[in-house]
Amino acid sequence: MAEIKLSDHFNIAKLLKFTAPTMIMMMFYSTYMLVDGLFISNCVGSTGYAAVNIVGNYILLFPSIGTMLGSGGAALISKTLGEKNSELASKQFSMVIWFSVVAGLLLTVLGLLTVGEVARLQGAEGELLKDCLEYGNIVVLIVVFYIVQSEFQYFFTMVEKEMLGFVSAVISGVINISLDALFILVFKWGLRGAALASFLGVLFGAIFPIVYFIRHKELPVRIKKPSLDIRTLLKVCANGSSEMVTNISVALVGMLFNFQLMRYVGENGVAAYGVIQAVTTVFLAVFQGYSAGIIPVVGYHFGAGNRDELTSLLKKSIVLLAVINVLLFGITEACAEIFAGIFVGYDKELLDMSVRGLRIYCSVFLLTSFNVFGSAFFTALNDGLNSAIISFARTIVFLVAGVLLLPLIWGLDGIWISTSVAELLALIVTISIGFINRKVWKTKDF
C-alpha cells in the first residue's frame, strides 16, 4: 500500500487514514490520569480518586509547552519543507527539541515546589490533601518527559511516520495500564503505584521518538547539536500559543471546576467531575488528534502555495468532524451509566451524580471539534494571532464566565452545562474569524 505524502491530494478517506493514527495516539496519551483514576477509585476509594483529579489538572498545565512547541514547530517546519529547504528545517527542529528539554526541567522543579499549595487552593485538606501530596510529588516528575512526548505527537506526523507515533502511544499506554495493575492490585502501593506507573509509561513515550530520530538519518529532519535562533523560537512559540492556551486553560478551568464543586457539593462533586473528565477527555482527544494530524498537511500546502488544496481540506474536514461529533455524542448519551459505573459503581449517590453530569456535559461533543480545528487551521497557516483568539475565547473568556455564573442560575447543572455554552459562543467567534480571513486560502469555488 502506497504511503501517504504531505504533498498528496486528500479525499475524505485519505484524510481519515492519515489522521486516524494521530487521533488514536492522542486518545492513548489522554489515558494516563484516566487509568490511574480508574484503579484508584475502585481500589483506594473516592477520596483518592478526587486527589488524582485535583493533582492531575495541575500537572496538565506543564505539557502545554510541548503542545505549543509541537504544533507551532510542526507548522513552521512543514512550511519550510514545502519550500524545499530541508537543512533549515533540521535546524529549526533541533532547536525546538533541545529547548523543550531545558524548559521541561525547569518546570519540573516548579511543580515540585508548588503542587501542595495548588491542592490547598482547590479546597483540599486533611486526608484529601495528604493523598494529593502522595500522588503529586511523584507524578510531577513526569513533566519533562510529558512535554517531549506531547511535541512528538506532531513531529511524527510531520515526517509522515504517523503510524510510529501510534505504536509509541500504544506501548506507552500498555506500560501504564499493566504497571497500574501490578503496583496497585498486586503490590498494594495505592496512589504511589499509580503515579509510578504513569511516570514509566510517559518515560517510554519520550525516549522512543528521540532515539528513533537520532538513528534514522533518512528522515527529512534530523536532531543536531543545539543552535539557538531567538527569532525563529519566538515565531514557533507565537504560532503554537493557541494550542498552549487551550491546554493551560483546560487545566486552570479544571481547577476552577474543582473549586466550585467543593463549594456546591463537596468531595463527591470533584469525584463526579473526575468521571466526566476521564470519559470526555478521551473522546475530545479524537478532535485534538485530527487537528494535530492535519496541521503538517495544511502547513505544507500553504508553504507550497496550493490554495485549491487548502480549500478542499477545509471543506472535507468540516464534513468529517460533523459526522464524528454526532457519533461521539450518541455513544456518550447511550452509555453514560456504563461509563460512570466503571469508575464509581460502588457508590449509588456518586454514580447518579456522575451519570447526570456526563449526559449534560457531553453536548460539548457537538461543538468543540469545529473550534479546535479552526484554531489548528490558523496555526497551520502560521497565523498564531487568530488561532490564539479562538482558543482564548473558548477556553478562558466564555468558559470561566460560565463556570462562575451559570451555577447561580441552575446550581450543579449550571457547572455541567457551562462548557457547552462556552463552545457555542466560541463557535460564533471561529466562524466570524474564518469569514473575515477567508482570502488567505480562498479560491474561485469557495
Query: What single letter denotes the amino acid at residue 370?
Result: F
Contact 89, 221 (CB under 8 A): yes
Query: What single letter denotes the amino acid at residue 40?
Result: I
What's the longest Cα–Cα distance across the chain? 65
Q: What average pLDDT does range 29-51 have in this prediction?
A: 82
Map out the domains of the chain as residue ranges. Answer: 14-440
pLDDT at 321: 95
Condensed to tens digits (0 to 9), the pLDDT of residues 70-97 reads: 988 998 999 899 888 999 999 999 999 9
CA–CA dist 93, 221 (Å, integer): 7
Give the three-state DSSP class for 416.
helix
pLDDT at 360: 97
Mean of the per-residue pLDDT values for the chain? 89
Confidence check: pLDDT of 102 > 80: yes
Contact 415, 264 (CB under 8 A): yes
Residue 129, phi then psi, degrees to nearest 5: -65, -40
Q: What average pLDDT does range 220-244 have in this prediction?
A: 86
Condensed to tens digits (0 to 9), the pLDDT of residues 364-417 reads: 999 999 999 999 999 888 888 898 899 888 888 999 999 999 999 999 999 999
Report the helix count and the strand count for the chain, using DSSP H and E.
18, 0
> How many other CB atoms are there within 10 angstroms of residue 102's CB atom?
11
| Angle between helices 307-344 and 368-380 in degrees, nearest 10 | 140
Confidence check: pLDDT of 33 > 80: no
